[in-house]
Amino acid sequence: MGIKDKLTDKLIIDTTEVPIDIFFGYNTKQKDTQILLEIKKTYPTKYNINNDTLIGIEVEVENILCRADCAPIWKHKEDGSLRNYGVEYISQPIQAQYIPSVLFYLHRKLKRENVPLYTPRTSIHVHINVQDMSFKQIQAFTILYLCFESLLYEYAGKNRNKSIFCVPLSHAGYVKFLMDFFHYKDNRNRHFMSFFYDWHKYTGFNLNPISTLGTIEFRHLSGTDDVEYISKWVSIILALKEASLVYKVEDLFKVIAELNTNSEYYIFASNIFKDSLQFFPNINTLQEIMEKDISHIKECFFQKKKIEIDADIFEESYFYTRHKIQKLKKEEFNYNEYSIVELERQLTKLYKMHLISNKKEDKEKIKLEYTKIYSILVEKKKTIAALENEKLW
């Protein structure tokens, strides 16, 4: 069976065990390694990260009258949420081992001709590469995040859990939806990627970039030039990813069900974060910090009555109902004129139609339409990949 047919068959049947880069067509690699080696040598740091996972960093800062040229490692752009000569610096995809040095390099360059200000409007966003992960592993990543959300905000401090630009999932109502989604083994569980497009950008744990960059974004930290503080945060995020590659979803829920005492909470956190656990404040009161998150998960996942999806969050998830299927039967679309984004959105719509339809003939029609769009999308991505070798995250 050819790649196209195999992929299409996988998408229709089960996507949970396959790395997501197969479906999104990602092939992100680190560039300018020689320059990074020079920066690491020139700007040694006290704290080091021994990991080659690709990381992207976004640094927001104000009072930058003279733009520091840090190309090609960093590019900069204006940010509408900032004031007083505010600028956002965005890194290339970089192996984690270089993160401390490139941050030190950036802040040194900024301070040469400016007095950078990290006001409450500024923040640090960290993107971690998940292109090598399957949907089930991303589910495990998400569940682990939910377990430790309050602890992560403890590290971020400065009332970041009250910011409208990094809202906790527990405040946004996502916990109930996610637990319902993971618990019931129907078609929705096989099409986990369909809601990446609809994810709200301004959550602390942002899954939306999976659909465009192949990353999960952590938006928790406020603006700072403390390189060690940011680097330790990166290590914490890396520990979550590494644990999600080891723990199966069903095993995680078994562990969660048995968490009751402070010692059990500590053992669980130690197994996940390992040496990075020491970076958190107040680790002696882990149960007190985590108990609300764990209780919320237990309440949502282990109750017998099925929890309904929050309509406010997913109000558009299932609006492709019967009349949309009828329209698909009657009309012909020239998908060659669609952009890649439009094609990907159309694939998502077809997923939803496939889930709702209960007639075999409708499902076959949708599957044929999906196959046609997918083949066009693959060809477009191949063409763009050939033309845009310099494309960054």
| pLDDT tens for each residue of the chain, 393 residues long | 333 333 444 444 345 666 666 556 667 788 889 999 999 999 999 899 999 999 999 999 999 998 888 889 999 988 888 888 999 999 999 999 999 999 999 999 999 989 999 999 999 999 999 998 988 899 899 999 999 999 999 999 888 999 888 999 988 878 877 876 676 544 444 455 566 777 888 899 999 898 888 899 999 999 999 999 999 999 999 999 999 999 998 899 889 988 988 889 999 999 999 999 999 998 888 889 999 999 888 887 766 334 343 333 333 333 333 344 444 444 455 666 667 667 777 777 777 666 666 677 777 788 788 788 878 877 777 765 555 444 444
Strand ranges for the chain from DSSP E: 54-61, 74-78, 87-91, 94-95, 123-129, 205-206, 215-222
Cα–Cα distance for residue pair 34/150, rounded to 1 Å: 39
Sequence-separated (6 or more) residues with CB below 8 Å from residue 93? 28, 29, 30, 31, 54, 55, 56, 129, 392, 393
pLDDT of residue 184: 54
d(Cα 290, Cα 153) in Å, to the nearest integer?
A: 11
CA distances from 309 to 173, 177, 257 (A): 10, 5, 22
Closest to 99 in 3D by CA, of 43, 153, 27: 43
> Cα(341)–Cα(34) distance, rounded to whole angstroms?
34
Q: What is the pLDDT of residue 108?
A: 93
What was the pLDDT predicted at 20? 66
Q: Are the C-beta atoms of residues 92 and 73 closer than 8 Å to each other?
A: yes
Using a 10 angstrom Cβ sphere, with 0-12 exposed, 13-18 middle and 19 or more buried, the burial of residue 21 is middle
Sign of CA dihedral 385, 391, 392, 393: negative
Pairing of strands 123-129, 54-61: antiparallel
pLDDT of residue 303: 62
Looking at residue 344, what is its pLDDT?
72
DSSP string for 203-257: BSEE-GGGGTTSEEEEEEEEP---HHHHHHHHHHHHHHHHHHHHS-HHHHHHHHH
